[in-house]
Amino acid sequence: MNQSNKSDNLTNQVWKFFASVKLSVVLLLALAATSVIGTVIPQNAAPAMYIQKHGETLYALFDALDFFDMYHAWWFRLLLALLTINIIVCSINRLQATWKIIFPKKINFQAARFRKSKDRFEWGESASLEVLQSTYENYLGKHFRHMTRQEKEDGRLLFAEKGRWTRLGVYAVHFSILLLVIGGLVGSLFGFEGYANIPEGESVKRIALKNKDAEKTLPFAIRCDDFSLSHYESGMPKEYRSSISILNDGKVVHQADIRVNDPLHYQGINLFQSSYGRVPGDAFTLVFTDPESGMEYTRKAAVGKEIEMPAGKGKVFVQDFSTSFNFRGHNIGEAFLLRLMPADSEQSRRSAVVPVNYPRFDRMRGGDFVISVKDLEFGYYTGLQVTRDPGVPIVYTGFILIIIGCYITFFMRHKQVCIELTKGDGRTDVMLACVSGKNRPGLRAVTRRLAEQMKSLPMPNER
C-alpha cells in the first residue's frame, strides 16, 4: 500500500509540475531568448564565416551547442516538447471545470444576481402580465438557446442564455498553439533541406543535405531541360528560370518552369530556383606546351575523363571544374582541377589548377609541360533548393484556428438574461438585466439595446 501511495504522489507531483503556469512562462521565455540567439547568429552559414567572425574558440563552443542550426538542435526540440506537454496538461486540468459549465446537468438561475446588477433597466407596461410573458418568451426563444421560467407570488421570472460554448475559445487558442509547436517539431524531425546543381539536359536523383555531410535520394529524378537568363541593360541579371521535368522510372510525369519566388511543388517536395552558374561543355581541349621548345600538343578532354599526356609522360585525370577557385587567398575565377599521374612510378602524383582566363598560370608549377585550356564552350546549370516540410499543413491549420479562437475569446461571450414581470396597479412592472463573464464595460450597452427591443415589441392587443 505504501508503494502505491508513493506512486500516486509521484504521479500527482509530475502532473502539478506540468500543469504549472510558471512552467509555461519559463518555457516561453526560454524559447524567446533562444529565438533571439537564432536571430543574432546567422543560421546555416559556412563554417569559415563563423570562424572569421567569432574566432575558433567561440566557434567550437557555439558548434557544440548547435547555435548555427539552432532550430534543429536537440535542446530546442526538447523545449518545444515540454511546452507541448505543458499546454496539454494545463488544458486538461482546466477543461474539467469548464466542461461542467458548458454542459450542466441542470441550469440554475439566481434572480438575486440579476436584481443586484448595475446594468439593469426598469419600466412599466400597460399590457397584462400574461400577454407580456407570451410576447417576451417568443422573442427570447428565437434569440437565445436556453430559456426557462419561474413563478413568484406577484409575477414571473423569465431566464434565457446563450453562448456557453464560447468558453471553449481559449481552448481553441491553446490547441492552435499546440498545432504550431507540433508542426514545427514534425518539420524539424521528418523534413529536410538540400540543394542540387543540375546542368542543362542532365538529371539528378540525389541531393546534398544542407549543413550535413550526407546525401538524400529523392523518390523521383529532376531533369533540367532548359535554363534561360535575361539581363538588364547594365548587364546585371534580370530574371533566370529553369524548365524542369520530374521523372519516375525514366518517364516524364510532370513539367514546369520555375523562377525565383515561383517554386515547383510535387509530392510534398518543393523545388526553389536559388542560383545558377556556368559549366564547361562535354568536350574541350587541353594544350600541353613544352616550356623549352615551345612545341604545343593538344588533347580532347572532358570532366571525369582520363587522357594520355604527350611523349608518354603519363596521364591526366580531369577531376572537377570550379566556377570560382580561390588560390592562396585570391579568386582566379573559373578553373579546372587536374590530377597528374606521371609515367615514372618514382614520381609522385601531383595536382594542378588550370584557370580558364590565365593560360600561363600553370607555368609556376614546373614540370614537363605547361597546361592550358582552349576551345571551351559553356552551358548553364541551375541551382535548386530542395525542401520538404510535412509540418506546414499542421502549422497552417494552427494559424487558422488561432484566428478563430481569438475571435471567439475576445468578441463573443456567454450571456444570461433575466426579465422579471411584476403585477402593479393597472400595469405590469418590467425589470431586465444581463450578466456576462467578460467584457462587462460593454454589457450595459448590450442590455440597453435589448431593453429597447423589448419595449418596441408589438403586443397582441396592438395588432
pLDDT (tens digit per residue) in 351-373:
899 999 899 999 988 888 999 99
Strand partners, 381: 199, 277
> Is CATH 3.50.50.60 the classification given to domain 111-163+413-462?
no
**CA distance between the termini of the chain:** 76
pLDDT at 346: 59
**pLDDT one-digit tens code per residue, 247-287:** 998 899 999 999 988 899 999 999 999 888 888 877 899 99
pLDDT at 2: 61
pLDDT at 4: 65
E strands of 42-191, at which residues? 120-125, 146-152, 155-162
Please enumerate in sequence order all residues whose Cβ is within 8 A of that of 430, keeping only pairs 6 or more positions apart, or say none: 122, 123, 124, 125, 132, 419, 420, 421, 422, 454
Nearest of 263, 257, 256, 251 to residue 228 by alpha carbon: 257
The number of residues making up the chain comes to: 463
Nearest of 17, 399, 26, 405 to residue 184 by alpha carbon: 399
Q: Distance (Å, rounded) from C-alpha 307 to C-alpha 360? A: 21
Please enumerate in sequence order all residues whose Cβ is within 8 A of that of 355, keeping only pairs 6 or more positions apart, or say none: 325, 332, 333, 334, 335, 361
pLDDT at 371: 94
Nearest of 316, 312, 380 to residue 353 by alpha carbon: 316
Amino acid at position 38, single letter:
G
Please enumerate in sequence order all residues whose Cβ is within 8 A of that of 242, keeping only pairs 6 or more positions apart, or say none: 224, 226, 227, 257, 258, 259, 273, 382, 384
pLDDT at 59: 87
Grid coordinates given for 97: 471545470
Nearest of 309, 299, 294 to residue 340 by alpha carbon: 309
User: With contact defined as beta carbons under 8 Å apart, do 179 and 84 qualify?
Assistant: no
188-281+381-400 folds as Tick-borne Encephalitis virus Glycoprotein; domain 1 (2.60.98)
Please enumerate in sequence order all residues whose Cβ is within 8 A of that of 270, keeping only pairs 6 or more positions apart, or say none: 263, 264, 386, 387, 388, 389
pLDDT at 463: 45
What is the maximum alpha-carbon separation in the chain?
133
Domain residue spans of the chain: 2-99, 111-163+413-462, 188-281+381-400, 284-376
Grid coordinates given for 6: 508513493
Nearest of 365, 306, 315 to residue 343 by alpha carbon: 315
User: With contact defined as beta carbons under 8 Å apart, do 451 and 120 qualify?
Assistant: no
Asked, colleague to colleague, whether 111-163+413-462 and 188-281+381-400 share their fold, the answer is no
pLDDT at 271: 94
Q: How far is CA 263 from the centre of its chain?
A: 16
Radius of gyration of the chain (CA): 38
Beta carbons within 10 angstroms of residue 155's beta carbon: 20
Task: Give pTM, 2 decimals.
Answer: 0.67
What percentage of the chain carries pLDDT values higher than 90?
35
Strand order in the sheet with 237-248: 251-259, 237-248, 215-231, 203-209, 192-199, 378-388, 269-280, 264-266
Sort strands 251-259 and 350-355 into parallel, antiparallel or unpaired: unpaired
Q: Distance (Å, rounded) from C-alpha 322 to C-alpha 295? A: 28
* Count of alpha carbons within 13 angstroms of residue 183, beta-carbon side: 15
User: With contact defined as beta carbons under 8 Å apart, do 365 and 352 qualify?
Assistant: yes
Is the sign of the CA dihedral 256, 262, 267, 271 positive or negative? positive
Nearest of 428, 434, 415 to residue 135 by alpha carbon: 428
Q: Please give the helix or strand (H or E) that residue 94 lies within, else none.
A: helix 74-102
User: With contact defined as beta carbons under 8 Å apart, do 308 and 297 qualify?
Assistant: no
79-83-89-92 Cα dihedral, nearest 10 degrees: -160
Residues of the chain with pLDDT under 70: 1-7, 211, 345-347, 439-440, 461-463
Nearest of 286, 186, 271 to residue 222 by alpha carbon: 271
